[in-house]
Structure 1
């Protein structure tokens, strides 16, 4: 897999995942919404770790800066 996510993109995804995790832990997000948001937050963290987002491929998007 060729990286297609830049550092700013990755940082934003991790920040959003942290906010979602905090909202779930505080009980603000509950039920099915909490499950869906939690899964999405997990996907955000996973894609940030590997620097690859499969949804960018069909649109030929990349925020990764080559040297």
Structure 2
């Protein structure tokens, strides 16, 4: 398996985690329901997973990296 080069920086990770928490809170408080809730929860899951592994495939397609050399 090819090693994935990190392309998600610490600030980006923070925003992803905050976004996922916001979506989870909105779902928990029943502010989002139905198909909207499902779509947003999937997005929140992607945020959490990409924060954990420090790699976002879309960034690599476009050659983007939010990771600084010290991260």
TM range (shorter): over 0.9
Provide the aligned C-alpha RMSD in A. 0.7
Aligned residue in 1 for 2:26: 23
Displacement of 1:56: 0.3
Task: Tell me how far 1:9 sits from its aligned partner.
Answer: 0.2
Distance 1:65 1:41 in 2: 24
Q: Deviation per CA, 1:35-62: give whole Å up to 9, x if none.
A: 0000000000000000000010111000
Residue 51 of structure 2 corresponds to which residue in structure 1? 48
The normalised TM-score by structure 2 is: 0.91
Matched with 2:10 is 7
- The total of aligned residue pairs comes to 67
Q: For residue 17 of structure 1, report the CA deviation from its aligned partner.
A: 0.2
Provide structure 1 residue ranges, at least 5 long, that are not aligned to the other structure: none
Q: Which residue of 1 aligns with 2:35?
A: 32
Give TM-score scaled by structure 1 length.
0.97
- Segments ≥4 residues shifted beyond 2 Å: none
**Structure 2 gap ranges (5+):** none
